[in-house]
Amino acid sequence: MGIKLLLLTLTLYLGFIFTQERTIKGIVTAADDNAPIPGVNVVIKGTSNGTVTDANGKYSIKVSTMRSTLVFSSIGYATKEVKVTDEKSVWNVKLESDNASLDEVVITGYSTQTYDKEAKSVNMSKAKTMPGGGLYAPAPIMNSIRAAEYNTEEYSIFEENVFHETKKDALTTFSIDVDRAAYTNIRRMLNNGQLPPKDAIRIEEMINYFDYSYEQPNGKDPVSFQTEISDSPWNEGLKLLHIGLQAKKMPADNLPASNLVFLIDVSGSMSDYNKLPLLKQGFKLLVDQLRPKDHVAIVVYAGAAGTVLPSTSGKEKNKIKEALENLQAGGSTAGGEGIKLAYKIAAENFINRGNNRVILATDGDFNIGTSSEADLKTLIETKRESGVYLSVLGFGMGNYKDNKMETLADKGNGNYAYIDDLQEARKEFVTEFGGTLFTVAKDVKLQLEFNPKYVKAYRLIGYENRKLNNEDFNDDKKDAGEMGSGHIVTAIYEIVPTGVESQYLGKVDPLKYQENKDLTPLSNSKEVLTIKLRYKLPDENTSKLIKEVVYDKHTTFDKTSDDFRLAASIAEFGLLLRQSRFKGFANYDHIISTAKSARGNDEEGYRAEFIKLVKMAQLLSGKELAHDN
């Protein structure tokens, strides 16, 4: 009896000890440069319990009071095991780079692509996929590889902008673009060990993902711009023109009341962990930002569309969150009907001088009802005139329809973002809440005139689907992009200076029946170009004009601002990923060194994360070359 009692007591004691927990915290960094590594899986060895490092490489995990072993793993780095004791609670870990670890990844970037001439899109029909990626995916999922699936993701085909000779075509006009979906989508693919297809790479959206330290507008205009000129780091002898637009950041208390309709896809394709479950968590973060004067309705669609929650005050947060939590995925996708119902509810609860907006959350796979891109485009264009804007949030992978998502947001006077993890949802709904939802300037467009005395030719990097005819600049009926509170937009032109020979310029015989255009006296000034910007206030239909002359201060690349060098490194990365014919001497090592020099104030860790993604792409590119050989 005594022995049994002793064994029972010992068992209870050991059980008590093993059930006691303590919190271990730390930072995971790269051994070669001490940069924080986001997205590292941290798992308690022998269990499925784990976490993932945030954008600053930080982690926090509860372990037993007894000794435990933590396993740290990330694609491109050697896995490391660390035995933690009860002597300290902070364990910082350094991971060594490991090219060989890429061989363990099932995904490849060598997908067979087919071209749909009618849809003008790429269908990645043979690519293999796996779950995980980003900071949202739980460690157990990241460490288990699903069987290969067919991939039906679609991206619109586009051709890169080319160089234009200034003497023949001195004017260039385009609409601004605040969308950032391409960057997070590329991040998702790289974190999954896959190089993105070239038509998923929209360089302007990569550049515009990041914050820059542009000055706030200090006049009556809600938007201002600044410029900087220096050398092109990838094409010797050429120059880059950096244009930074900044929208006025409105204090939260001054933002108008919101009438929001959450339009949520609950079809069967949304059942994956990184679709509806992530969507719910993201929208709950948005609900936490709402004020009593804000209202939210929830509309869902699958085989049919229906209202889950009537327009409800932001003070009833628990009620809104409960409605979100009860959503379940199943059925086919009647996206067109859902959009119609959402607009109807938004119109019924319209707030004059308020923020009236439908927020569509989906993987973009519309397959029943009004489903063609053309039909959806027409529907959205007719609805935006009512004053109700449309923002689009993309989720998931495998059947993601980027082409449809971008079209909807563009025509709906809203923005388009791709949510690949909970941290991105926080960025969209918390950190950049005002810019996401509150427009301060609409139909924003830029027109540049280059002086042929200094500029032989020029090329806009990115913005291929935002180009406008020159006469559209003065046409107030022509739709263009919107800027929200605090929004930042960056554009880069590559310039061939006059007198410089370039491989990118073809030779054309002199014209027989006309001479070159006459130059005005101002062409002999020191003006390199003139920039004109047009915008409308949200409640007005007549545009206002801002104009500025730009000079070349002959600043060397290493003396430029952090903003200039960061944007240039991102553009160079996009050119490499696309294997652009304009990439010149672009290379991964230069991108990494430039980005490191431009880290600056990186509180959220996004610039450090960018450096990690470039290293990942470099490893994957090397592996792809090895397979080709």
Q: Write out the two tokens for 534.
A: 């047009």
The pLDDT confidence band at residue 152, using thresholds 50, 70 and 90, is confident
Highest mean pLDDT among 59-68, 152-161, 322-331, 525-534: 525-534
In this structure, of 50-59, 119-128, 151-160, 452-461, the range with the lowest mean pLDDT score is 119-128
The tens digit of pLDDT for each residue in 492-508 reads 999 999 999 999 998 88
255-437 has which fold? Answer: Rossmann fold (3.40.50)
Say yes or no to pLDDT of 74 above 60: yes
- pLDDT at residue 50, rounded to an integer: 74
In a 10 Å sphere around its CB, with 0-12 CB exposed, 13-18 middle and 19+ buried, how is residue 121 labelled? buried
The pLDDT confidence band at residue 171, using thresholds 50, 70 and 90, is very high
Q: Summarize the confidence of residues 113-135 as an average pLDDT.
A: 39
Q: Which is higher by pLDDT, 485 or 1?
A: 485
Say yes or no to pLDDT of 179 above 60: yes
- pLDDT at residue 331, rounded to an integer: 66
Q: Which is higher by pLDDT, 149 or 366?
A: 366
Same CATH topology for 160-250+440-505+517-600 and 255-437: the answer is: no
Q: Which is higher by pLDDT, 380 or 477?
A: 477
The pLDDT confidence band at residue 139, using thresholds 50, 70 and 90, is very low
The tens digit of pLDDT for each residue in 26-47 reads 999 888 878 888 778 888 887 7
Q: Summarize the confidence of residues 570-593 as an average pLDDT.
A: 97
- pLDDT at residue 131, rounded to an integer: 33
Say yes or no to pLDDT of 535 above 50: yes
- pLDDT at residue 190, rounded to an integer: 93
Q: Summarize the confidence of residues 275-286 as an average pLDDT.
A: 90
The full set of domain ranges for the chain reads 2-101, 160-250+440-505+517-600, 255-437
Furthest-apart CA pair in the chain: how many Å? 115
Say yes or no to pLDDT of 15 above 80: no
2-101 has which fold? Answer: Immunoglobulin-like (2.60.40)
CA dist list (Å): 38 to 144, 421, 542, 598: 19, 12, 46, 18
CA-based end-to-end distance of the chain: 74
Distance CA 279, CA 298 (A): 13
- pLDDT at residue 53, rounded to an integer: 80
Percent with pLDDT over 90 in the chain = 48
Phi, psi of 217 (to 5 degrees): -60, 135
Q: Summarize the confidence of residues 548-571 as an average pLDDT.
A: 97
CA dist list (Å): 187 to 48, 193, 223, 408, 611: 25, 10, 30, 22, 11
- pLDDT at residue 106, rounded to an integer: 35
The tens digit of pLDDT for each residue in 402-443 reads 877 787 787 877 788 888 888 888 888 888 877 777 889 999
Distance CA 524, CA 16 (A): 85
Judge whether 246 and 281 are in contact, CB under 8 Å. Answer: no
Q: Starting from the edge strand earliest in sequence, which strands make up the sheet with 68-73, in order?
A: 50-52, 41-44, 68-73, 80-84
Q: Write out the two tokens for 424.
A: 């991105």
Please give the CATH number for the structural domain made up of 160-250+440-505+517-600. Answer: 2.60.40.1230
- pLDDT at residue 239, rounded to an integer: 98
Q: Summarize the confidence of residues 97-103 as an average pLDDT.
A: 57
Highest mean pLDDT among 2-16, 393-407, 589-603: 589-603
Say yes or no to pLDDT of 117 above 80: no
- pLDDT at residue 608, rounded to an integer: 93
Say yes or no to pLDDT of 141 above 70: no
The pLDDT confidence band at residue 118, using thresholds 50, 70 and 90, is very low
Average pLDDT over the chain, rounded to whole?
A: 83
Q: Summarize the confidence of residues 109-129 as an average pLDDT.
A: 41
| Rounded to 5°, angle at Cα 475 from 470 and 481 | 80
Q: Starting from the edge strand earliest in sequence, which strands make up the sheet with 239-247, in order?
A: 164-165, 455-461, 488-497, 239-247, 223-231
- pLDDT at residue 444, rounded to an integer: 97
Residue 289 per-residue DSSP state: H
Judge whether 153 and 182 are in contact, CB under 8 Å. Answer: no
CA dist list (Å): 28 to 46, 116, 443: 21, 44, 44
The tens digit of pLDDT for each residue in 184-214 reads 999 999 998 899 999 999 999 999 999 999 9
The tens digit of pLDDT for each residue in 209-255 reads 999 999 999 989 999 999 999 999 999 999 999 999 999 998 877 88
